[in-house]
Structure 1
């Protein structure tokens, strides 16, 4: 898809996209933990975050041809382009800077292998790590970094 293609999709409401956005399953303990990890280590405030369960999150999943209910991947939107599966996670670590950027070494593995490992974790994440009854919500001082 072309960069910023969601801007031309009438089913996707307008939203601030001037910074990278991580869209994650807010009910998943692992995914919410990853969001909290990003909030702790993103000292530059580079990322915005959004729960996939929001109307906008669901619209973006649909826009990219993904199931808007069964979240098998996080999305990372950056400069109007989407990254999914292992590429989304690696990109987050790259942007967090050193030492987290060392995780980009995972790119040496072929994408099909990385994505197969990602899919195993995604498929089993709720059974292995649990599910929240309520979506993860940011602390008051973090709310400006969330798109709700």
Structure 2
């Protein structure tokens, strides 16, 4: 089993997305999901927050240099491409993309890793977590 294989996350909130809050790409991902999630199935927690650091440590994500985002769905936590495709599979506009999960992770994750390694250079990095709008604030638990 890979370090990034899905695993048990019982007791954690359904639809919680753990993300790198200082990453420009990751903040855009959060806004992308919020804008396409009319049922508000997902909430978002920056890894840099106190609770985010706790969850990151619990699930093996280095909060100082996160290599993945994660999502909790149906009592399991998913990482890397599994996380992204799990989220996309729940959004009406992107549901067909969930079919990509049928491709082996060994093929999907290198593409994810390439973007993750270059995300700050390509999309920028901020010194603070994203500043949410009023609508977005409701989706960021304290």
State if a TM-score over 0.5 links the two structures. Answer: yes
2:36 corresponding residue in structure 1: 41
| Residue 70 of structure 1 pairs with residue 65 of structure 2 | yes
- SS of structure 1 residue aligned to 2:126: coil
- Counterparts of 2:117 and 2:99 in 1: how far apart (Å)? 24
Aligned match for 2:115, one of 97, 121, 129? 121
Q: Is the 8 A contact 2:8 2:77 kept in 1?
A: no
Aligned length: 136
Task: Decide whether aligned partners of structure 1 residues 140 and 83 sit closer, same or farther in structure 2, where only a CA change above 3 A counts.
Answer: same
Counterpart in the other structure of 2:134: 140
* Structure 1 residues 11-70: Cα deviation after superposition (integer angstroms, max 9, x where no partner): xxxxx71x3111111110000000001111111111111111111111111111221211
Q: CA deviation at 1:111?
A: 0.8
- 1:110 is displaced (CA, Å) by 1.6
The SS at the match of 2:131 is coil
TM (norm. structure 2) is 0.88
Query: Is contact 1:23–1:49 with CA below 8 Å preserved after alignment?
Result: yes
CA distance in 2, matches of 1:141, 1:31: 18
1:117: Cα distance to partner?
Answer: 1.0
1:29 paired residue number: 24
Write out the 4+ residue segments of structure 1 that deviate beyond 6 Å after TM superposition.
none
Kindly state the Cα deviation for residue 109 of structure 1 after the two structures are TM-superposed: 2.4
Decide which moves more: 64-73 or 136-145.
136-145
Task: Give the whole-Å Cα distance in 2 for the aligned partners of 1:37 and 1:3.
Answer: 25
Q: Taking structure 1 as the reference length, what is the TM-score of the superposition?
A: 0.84
Q: Deviations over 1:59-106 (max 9, x none)?
A: 111111221211110010123310000000000101112x30121132
Cα RMSD after superposing both structures: 1.6
Decide which structure has greater helix share.
1
